[in-house]
Amino acid sequence: MSRIVMKFGGTSVADLDHIRNVALRVKRQIDMGDQVAVVVSAMAGVTNQLVGWCQALSPLHDAREYDTVVATGEQVTVGLLAIALQGLGIEARSWLGWQVPVMTDDAHGTARIQSIDGTDLIARMQAGQVPVVAGFQGVGSDRRITTLGRGGSDTSAVALAAAVHADRCDIYTDVDGVYTTDPRIVPRARKLAKISYEEMLELASVGAKVLQTRSVELAMKERVRVAVLSSFGAPDDASQGTLLVDEDEIVEKEVVAGIAYARDEAKVTVKHVPDRPGVAAAVFGPLAEAHVNVDMIVQNVSDDGTTDMTFTVAATELPRTLVVLEKARAAIGYTKLITDKDVAKISVVGMGMRSHAGVANKIFRTLAEKGINIEVRSTSEIKVSVLIKQDYTELAVRALHTAYGLDAS
Ligand code: ADP
Ligand code: ASP
Ligand code: MG
């Protein structure tokens, strides 16, 4: 007997038929003699609609009220799945974040889980009950509902798996594992039977949304075994997904593990800032204080004693970024702000970059051959990212996938 946390994403619970299928899959796991807790997301598209409503009323809305609104999607699906499971004769009950409770910090909209007391859930699972827990949500120390950032149900599932000492956390989604890149835009992407936590972490952090970054971080820290599986394939295919493992468990190491893209960043250029010490601090200090995460940064060469500072932020953070920079205008001393949402960040990730030279250069050469201009670039130990025009996303990802020898034969 094992204890398993099964997580189902938005497309897996998109409508009542899908919810019935999820219930059957859960029943199958229980029939195998396992103890099961389930985590679900909102129905596909629902969270986007809820976010859209908040933005339509006010782009600079109160993040606490945003959480109250967007957390509702998961309330619907936990109740429906519990009903579907009960219909199959399974003793199931829904749990909202605050009922567990999933305690988080007070960073509304991007809250971090601080603790989950699994004692009650464990006792109930041992007594044969199936907890159906709302993903994506928790409760802050201010006793208000919080959400964990987009895609946060993955993190809910891994945190729950750690809290109830589960043997495994199975993430069921609409693809049958982690691929060398998004299989929806590169049909020749290859499924990976195993991927190291480190590479998955890096891929997730640069846009491979199959797992939320924090879920991988948490799995690594809490030593949770995570599998990514399809909720659409035949149940017997369950062993066919991708397992997250330690680096030394991967026998045939590739230089590059995968390629990711993110179309949800925006580029900001601060024009003509005085080229003197302290000016970067004047720009990025107020943004840090406002909890705006700055990603890529480039400072252009100066010719007339001024310089242009270009950086990227999450597109959803753009309105707040502009407010902060407008306020700091006098202190920074720039002439104008230029913004561009028509960009995409393409990243190549692989442990092998530590020991192989020329990986970055191959990106630059491959994109140049396709006539794609690189606007900003950044590198880390196991990753190279470039910012390009959004229209070229698919072309760039496909070309790089081929150039790094990742295409399935
Ligand atoms: P869920 O709603 O189940 O959480 P998501 O849409 O958040 O599902 O994540 C699954 C999606 O991630 C896939 O449909 C796929 O398009 C995308 N994806 C991006 N990169 C990868 C990758 N490297 N491997 C697999 N899927 C990927
Ligand atoms: N429903 C939330 C979202 O769409 C959480 C999740 O799907 O993981 O971001
Ligand atoms: Mg997701």
DSSP string, 157-186: HHHHHHHTT-SEEEEEESSSS-BSS-TTT-
Task: Note the pLDDT of residue 235.
Answer: 65
**Mean pLDDT of the 329-350 span:** 96
- The CATH architecture of the domain made up of 259-403 is 2-Layer Sandwich (3.30)
Pairing of strands 265-274, 336-340: antiparallel
pLDDT beyond 80 at 237: no
Task: State which of 15, 169, 175 you would mutate to test the pocket of ligand 1, scoring each by most atoms of that ligand within 8 A of its C-beta.
Answer: 175
Residue 239 pLDDT level (bands cut at 50, 70, 90):
low
User: Would the CB of 261 count as within 6 Å of ligand 1?
Assistant: no
Task: State which of 210, 215, 240 you would mutate to test the pocket of ligand 1, scoring each by most atoms of that ligand within 8 A of its C-beta.
Answer: 210
Token duo for residue 162:
């750690």
CB 247 within 8 A of CB 284: no
pLDDT tens digits, one per residue of 98-121: 999 999 999 999 999 999 999 999
Ligand nearest to the CA of 156: 2
CB 242 within 8 A of CB 191: yes
Region of poorest pLDDT, from 10-24, 90-104, 128-142, 233-247: 233-247
User: Would the CB of 191 count as within 6 Å of ligand 1?
Assistant: no
Task: Note the pLDDT of residue 38.
Answer: 98
User: Would the CB of 9 count as within 6 Å of ligand 1?
Assistant: yes
User: Would the CB of 214 count as within 6 Å of ligand 2?
Assistant: no
Residue 252 pLDDT level (bands cut at 50, 70, 90):
confident
pTM recorded for the entire structure = 0.94
Domain ranges of the chain: 3-174, 259-403
User: Would the CB of 174 count as within 6 Å of ligand 1?
Assistant: yes
Token duo for residue 146:
């919080």
Residue among 325, 298, 292, 326 at smallest CA distance from 311: 298
Quote the ligand 3 centre to 207 CA distance (angstroms). 11
**Mean pLDDT of the 320-328 span:** 96
CB 335 within 8 A of CB 286: no
Residue 24 pLDDT level (bands cut at 50, 70, 90):
very high
pLDDT tens digits, one per residue of 385-395: 999 999 999 99
- The CATH architecture of the domain made up of 3-174 is 3-Layer(aba) Sandwich (3.40)
